[in-house]
Amino acid sequence: MAMAKLPSRWRTAGAQALVFALVGLSLMWIFAVTGAELRSRGIETGFAFLTEPARTALANAPFAFTAGEDSNALALLAGAVNTLKISALVIVLASLLGLGLGLGRLSRNRLLRGTCLFYIEMVRNVPVLIHISLCYALVLALPAPRESQPVLGMLVTNRGLFLPTPTAEPLWLISGASGIVTCLILLAIRRRGGGWMAGNLVLTLLTIAAMALPWLLSGRSPAMSVPQIAGFRVNGGLSLSPELAAIVVALTLYTATFLAEIIRGAIQSVPRGQWEATMALALPGGTVRRSVIYPQAIRVALPAMSNEYIGVIKNSSLAVVIGYQEIVGIGNTVLFDTGQAVEVMAVLAGFFIVVSLGFSGLMNLINARLSWGDR
C-alpha cells in the first residue's frame, strides 16, 4: 500500500529504472560471458579484420578481386553490389510481370482471369526456397552451350544466360540522343494540345525510326555484341551465371504473384462511383484508366508494394543456398576465415537495416510527392 501513495510519476520512473537496470545487467552478463568465450578461443574482438586481406577468392565478383591482396571490406562490398544487382533486376522484372498478372486477374476474359489466378495460387503457396532450388535444377538441366540453339541472339544454356548487348560505339550515342530528342519533342507537342498529336503507337514508332536514322545514314548495321559459341565456352554479349539466372528468375516469379494481388486489390479499391462518373462524362476507356483509375490505385498500392520490394532485398540473401556470392554468402566466408562472428553479423545486420530504412525513406518521399494531402 505504501507504493500506491507515491505519486504515479515516481512509480513510473521507478518501474522504468527497474526495466533499464534489468536489461543493462543482462547485457553486461552477455558481454562478460562472450568476452571470456572469445578470449578462450583466442579471437581478438574489433573491426581490424576488415582491412586485412581476404583469404578466399570470390566466385561472382562484380569487379576484379584478388584473394590475398584485396581486403575483407572490399569482399563485403562486392557482396553488397551483388545483393543490390539481384534486387534491382528482380524489382524491375517482377513489377512488369506483377502488373500483367494483376490486370489479367481483372480482365473480362474468363480464361485469362482463370489462368492468372491459377498461376498466382500455384506459385505463392510454395516457399521461395523451393522455387530457387527448382529453378537452379532446371537451369542445370538445360543443354550445354555446344548443343543449344540461339533464339533472337540469346543463348539459354546450363552455363548461364547470354544476351546480345550494344558494343561501345560512338554512333550509339548519336542514335540514343536522336531518339530521346524526338520523343521529347513529340511529348511536348502532345502536352501543348490542339491540332495534331501522336498516339502512343505512333510515338514509339517515330522514336525507333529516329534511333535507326543514324545507322541508315552511315550505311552500317547496328553494332551488337552477339554471344558466340566457342568450344565449351561462350564469348561476347552479356552473361548471367546459372546461379544469378536461377535466383533472378525464381524471385521474379515468386514476387510477381504478391505484387499482382496488391495491384488487383488497389484497382478494385477505387470506388465504383469513379467508373460511373467517367461513363457519365463519356470518356474513352484508355483515358479513363490512365487518368482516373490508375492515379488513385497507385496511391493505394504504393505502401504495400514498397514492403514487397524490401522483401525482395531481404530474400536476395537466399542466393546463399545455391552458392551465389551476395553479401550474406561472402559474410559467411569471411566469418569462417576470421572467426569474427559478432562483428560480421553486425556488418550484415547493419547493411540490411540501412538499405531497408533507406528504401522505405525513398518510398515515403515518392508517396508524399504523390499524395493529395489530407482532405
Partner 1 sequence: MSRYLAATETDARPAPDRRRTLRQILIEDFFYGPGAILCTLLLCALLAIAAWKLLDWALLDAVFGPTETLDASQACRAEDTEGACWAVIGDKLRLILFGLYPYDLQWRPGLACVLMIALYALSVQRALWRPALAGIWVVFLVAVLILMRGGIAGLEPVGDDQWGGLPVTLILSTFGLGLAFPVAIALALARQQRRFPMLQAASVGVIEFARAVPLVVVLFMASVMLPLFLPADWQVSKLLRVLIAFTLFGAAYLAEVIRGGLQAIPPGQYEAASALSLTYAQSMRDVILPQALRIVIPGIVNIFIGFFKATAIVVVVGIFDLMTAAKRAVADPLWQGFGIEVYLFAGLIYFVFCFSLSRFSARLERDLARDRAS
Contacts of residue 139, defined as CB under 8 A and 6 or more positions apart, other chains included, come to 158, 160, 242, 245, 246, 249
Closest by CA position to 243, among listed 92, 58, 28, 45: 58
Nearer to partner 1, 94 or 327 (CB): 327
∠ CA 134-139-144, nearest 5°, is 150
Amino acid at residue number 61: A
Which residue among 189, 320, 363, 367 contacts partner 1 (CB under 8 A)?
320
Number of helical H runs and strand E runs in the chain: 13, 7
Which residue among 93, 103, 138, 288 contacts partner 1 (CB under 8 A)?
138
Q: Per CB under 8 A, does 133 bind partner 1?
A: yes
Nearer to partner 1, 49 or 136 (CB): 136
Q: Per CB under 8 A, does 147 bind partner 1?
A: no
Nearer to partner 1, 53 or 127 (CB): 127
Q: Per CB under 8 A, does 129 bind partner 1?
A: yes
Greatest CA separation for the chain: 97
Closest by CA position to 319, among listed 240, 239, 238, 251: 251
Shortest distance (Å) from residue 243 CB to partner 1: 14
Site for partner 1 in 98-117 (CB under 8 A): 108-112, 115
74 in Cβ contact with 66 (< 8 Å): no
Interacting stretch for partner 1, rule CB under 8 A, among 120-128, 162-170, 186-194, 242-250?
A: 120-128
Q: Per CB under 8 A, does 332 bind partner 1?
A: yes
Shortest distance (Å) from residue 84 CB to partner 1: 14
294 in Cβ contact with 275 (< 8 Å): no
Q: Per CB under 8 A, does 362 bind partner 1?
A: no
Site for partner 1 in 25-64 (CB under 8 A): 30, 33-34, 37-38, 40
Which residue among 122, 202, 281, 365 contacts partner 1 (CB under 8 A)?
122
Interface ranges with partner 1 (CB under 8 A): 12, 15-16, 19-20, 23, 30, 33-34, 37-38, 40, 108-112, 115, 121-122, 125-130, 133-134, 136-138, 140-141, 314-315, 317-318, 320-321, 328, 332, 335, 341-342, 345, 348-349, 352-353, 356-357
